[in-house]
């Protein structure tokens, strides 16, 4: 840490934290190696060559690179089919395309994991009749509340599924801005089994954002009919400049493709405009990059636990996504953390994160993200709503050694801010 002025006590805790992380790091490296071989195998078996990295314009008819990448993603995710496109504007947009692709007026969707992430609530039309929401198109929404310990309520899910016909059962893998644990693949498999044994025709869809390549299996391998996510998170590998993917059963992917473009045309059009190379490179790099992000999360958990903060997951706990929660308990502490993290970013290190209202969120939100790709949460970033208990949600880190610096500077700024406020309070007295 010769390049930064770090509190000496923090420097000592860094070494202790790294020692705590050894077992978890070994486990992450084994998972990354397996997933990297899985992706490499998909590239080789699909015959990827230089010609697939080119571009198409206009309608994009017969874009062999686009169509082959769909097959690569499907094979790597052990799915029947997939759509991966740079034109998906965000993870929420990708999820929205999948939802509108499957659901029809009069259908009912049952969310199995409590209230979903803030930005998707408008798509469902949960709180109000948003123009263009599923509710606006006559799709009914229901949810099953989580148990007090944050686990899905399997008994209530069984009761609901047995008593009513649902077109879709929706699972959010990541915790969003909640305190519950992210779902492991075994948890998703159990939910799928619970639904399918009662209602085999109910479509199970998983919001897989932040979860890709965290374990050796994906939701499509344990019963999910459809899953979707963002390319500026795990599966873009820190290289894809934008986009998203949908993977799952072939008949459902076909339905989604007609929502992605237009009815009667589907996946046959959509020029790639030179993005093929970045998407291929990003997906190929994704298993390793996800491993680096996981190491960063484990390290942050270990370091901030030593500093006396409550973290989730714990350093050696199994993980369902790349997100780390640190409960900072105070508004000022949350802001200090984000500003410290930003100061360790390769891009916009001098920027000062400030709480503000953002589209799709009910509270003020603060975000730290000095990223090469705007909003890319596979790169080191942190964000949080300004509400109690003032938890920060940290994720990403395409290079552990660089990301570790960001985490250290977040901790250092937190310490300095606390000392400053304590001094000011003493002077006021």
The residues that bridge with 210 in the sheet, in sequence order, are none
What's the residue count for the chain? 429
Place of tokens 């000095």: 370
Q: Among 352, 345, 353, 301, which Cα is nearest to 327's? A: 301
Delimit the domains of the chain by residue range: 8-33+287-428, 35-283
Distance, in Å, from the CA atom of 244 to the CA atom of 259, rounded to the nearest integer, reads 14
Q: Phi and psi (nearest 5°) for 257? A: -65, -30
Q: Among 344, 348, 350, which Cα is nearest to 400's? A: 344
Distance, in Å, from the CA atom of 71 to the CA atom of 9, rounded to the nearest integer, reads 51
Q: Among 132, 204, 126, which Cα is nearest to 172's? A: 204
pLDDT, residue 358, reads 83
Spelled out in words, what is the top-level CATH class assigned to the domain 8-33+287-428? alpha beta
Residue 321 DSSP class? S
Q: In sequence order, what are the residues at sequence separation of 6 or more whose Cβ sits closer than 8 angstroms to the Cβ of residue 168? A: 99, 102, 103, 107, 109, 110, 202, 203, 204, 205
* CB atoms inside a 10 Å sphere around CB 278: 21
Q: CB of 249 within 8 A of CB of 380?
A: no
The residues that bridge with 372 in the sheet, in sequence order, are none
Residue 389, preceding peptide bond in cis (omega within 30° of 0): yes
Distance, in Å, from the CA atom of 258 to the CA atom of 279, rounded to the nearest integer, reads 22
Q: What's the start-to-end Cα distance of the chain, in Å?
A: 36
Instruction: Please give the chain's pLDDT, 429 residues, in tens.
Output: 578 888 888 999 999 999 999 999 999 999 999 999 999 999 999 999 999 999 999 999 999 999 999 999 999 999 999 999 999 999 999 999 999 999 999 999 999 999 999 889 999 999 877 789 999 999 999 999 999 999 999 999 999 999 999 999 999 999 888 889 999 999 999 999 999 999 999 999 999 999 999 999 999 999 999 999 999 999 999 999 999 999 999 999 999 999 999 999 999 999 999 999 999 999 999 999 999 999 999 999 999 999 999 999 999 999 999 999 999 999 999 999 999 999 999 999 999 999 998 876 778 999 999 999 999 999 999 999 999 999 999 999 999 999 999 999 999 999 998 787 776 665 554
Beta strands 391-395 and 324-327: pairing type?
A: antiparallel
- CATH assignment of 35-283, among 3.90.550.10, 3.40.50.300, 3.40.50.1100, 3.40.640.10: 3.40.640.10
- The four Cα atoms 209, 215, 219, 220 give a dihedral, to 10 degrees, of 120
Q: Look up the pTM and report it.
A: 0.95
Query: Which run of H or of E encompasses 391?
Result: strand 391-395
Q: In sequence order, what are the residues at sequence separation of 6 or more whose Cβ sits closer than 8 angstroms to the Cβ of residue 377? A: 210, 232, 233, 369, 383, 395, 396
Give the 3-state secondary structure of residue 417: helix
What is the token pair recorded at 41? Answer: 């195998």
Would residue 318 be called left, alpha or beta, if left means φ above 0 and alpha means ψ between -120 and 50 degrees?
Answer: beta
């Amino acid at each position: 840490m010769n390049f930064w002025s770090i509190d000496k006590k923090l420097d000592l805790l860094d070494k202790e934290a790294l020692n705590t992380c050894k077992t978890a790091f070994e486990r992450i490296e084994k998972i990354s190696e397996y997933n990297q071989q899985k992706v490499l195998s998909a590239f080789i078996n699909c015959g990827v060559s230089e010609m697939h990295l080119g571009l198409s314009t206009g309608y994009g008819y017969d874009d062999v690179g686009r169509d082959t990448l769909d097959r690569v993603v499907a094979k790597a995710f052990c799915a029947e089919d997939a759509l991966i496109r740079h034109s998906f504007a965000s993870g929420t947009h990708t999820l929205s395309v999948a939802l509108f692709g499957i659901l029809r007026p009069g259908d009912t969707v049952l969310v199995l994991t409590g209230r979903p992430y803030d930005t998707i609530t408008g798509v469902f039309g949960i709180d109000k009749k948003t123009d263009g929401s599923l509710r606006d198109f006559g799709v009914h929404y229901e949810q099953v509340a989580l148990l007090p310990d944050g686990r899905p309520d399997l008994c209530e899910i069984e009761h609901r599924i047995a008593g009513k016909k649902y077109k879709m059962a929706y699972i959010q893998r990541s915790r969003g801005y909640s305190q519950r644990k992210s779902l492991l693949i075994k948890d998703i498999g159990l939910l799928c089994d619970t639904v399918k044994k009662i209602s085999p025709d109910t479509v199970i869809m998983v919001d897989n954002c932040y979860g890709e390549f965290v374990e050796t299996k994906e939701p499509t391998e344990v019963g999910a009919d459809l899953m979707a996510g963002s390319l500026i998170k795990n599966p873009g590998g820190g290289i894809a400049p934008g986009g998203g993917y949908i993977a799952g059963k072939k008949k459902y992917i076909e339905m989604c493709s007609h929502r992605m473009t237009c009815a009667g045309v589907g996946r046959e059009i959509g020029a790639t405009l030179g993005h093929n190379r970045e998407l291929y490179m990003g997906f190929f790099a994704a298993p390793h990059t996800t491993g680096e992000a996981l190491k960063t999360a484990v390290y942050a958990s270990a370091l901030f636990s030593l500093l006396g903060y409550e973290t989730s997951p714990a350093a050696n706990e199994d993980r369902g996504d790349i997100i780390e929660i640190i409960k900072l308990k105070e508004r000022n502490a949350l802001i200090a953390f984000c500003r410290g993290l930003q100061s360790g970013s390769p891009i916009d290190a001098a920027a000062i994160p400030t709480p503000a209202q953002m589209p799709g969120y009910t509270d003020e939100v603060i975000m730290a993200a000095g990223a090469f790709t705007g909003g890319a949460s596979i790169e080191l970033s942190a964000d949080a709503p300004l509400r109690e208990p003032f938890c920060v949600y940290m994720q990403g880190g395409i290079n552990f050694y660089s990301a570790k610096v960001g985490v250290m500077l977040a901790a250092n700024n937190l310490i300095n801010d606390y000392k400053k406020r304590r001094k000011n309070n003493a002077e006021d007295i």
